[in-house]
Amino acid sequence: MNYLVKKELSYFFNSNIGVILLTIWFLSLGLILWVINGNYNIPLSGYATLHPFFKLAPLLMLILVPAIAMRMFPKGEKVETNESTDSTPIKQSSTIVLRKFEATFLLVCTAIAPTLIYVVSIACMSMQGIDLGETISGYLGLVLVATAFSAMGLFCSSLTSNQFIALTIGVALNAIFYFGFNLIASIIAIESIHKYTEQIGIQYHYESLARGVIASNDIVYFISITVLFLWFTLLLNIRKK
């Protein structure tokens, strides 16, 4: 594993902010899914299904991912990349951006991984077992959402050295891309424009995966959004050189 990735992972797990973020994430999921009365409560739904989890998780990730990414580009940090001294600024910047993205993505996946215990819990609750294909597709959707949110979070972190501002912008940007376009599409009467506007948003493509439908266009969408925001982040970092 690259030095820069190890550095970011070590900082996160050895800092209070890392412990606090993961604690809030797990407590929020556990309480909302299993304890608090509401639309996401699995036992009260009467069905042994992970649908409530797949609906709730990306909403919490709207905040979790920007909170992880907000300090990835602090002001005045001297970043070591292990690149040779004759590397071009573009190559050095691209290395930094990709390593920061890798670290952010791995941290988000670390938060998602323990939720696999919910799969075991639901399987034990159900007499007929669990739909494995739908579960795999749903987790694939969460991972793809994590890639897009991680790239957006890095972009917001590179916009400002103020972590609170980076967090605020990141949450707003994620929210706009997740369900903002759906809201805009809902007020558009022209069917063709309504459809294309809706497809710009993350929610449209994620919900397809959460239903168990793995389509190439959904995967291409997430890859495109991720690459786009990593490119924006790279351009910002080149300008700062």
For the stretch 193-202, pLDDT in tens is 888 888 999 9
CA-only gyration radius of the chain, Å: 19
Tokens of 97: 């951006």
Provide the residue ranges of all domains of the chain, joining segments of one domain with +: 3-73+86-240
CB atoms within 10 A of CB 14: 9
Q: What is the pLDDT of residues 85-134, one digit of tens each?
A: 445 667 788 888 999 999 999 999 999 999 999 998 888 877 677 888 89
User: Is there a contact between 41 and 141 (Cβ–Cβ < 8 Å)?
Assistant: no
Tokens of 16: 């209070």
Per-residue pLDDT of the chain (241 residues; tens, 9 = 90+): 577 888 888 888 888 888 899 999 999 999 999 999 988 998 887 777 899 999 999 999 999 999 999 988 865 454 455 554 445 667 788 888 999 999 999 999 999 999 999 998 888 877 677 888 899 999 999 999 999 999 999 999 999 989 999 999 999 999 999 999 888 888 887 887 888 888 999 999 999 999 999 999 999 999 999 999 999 999 988 876 5
Tokens of 208: 């397809």
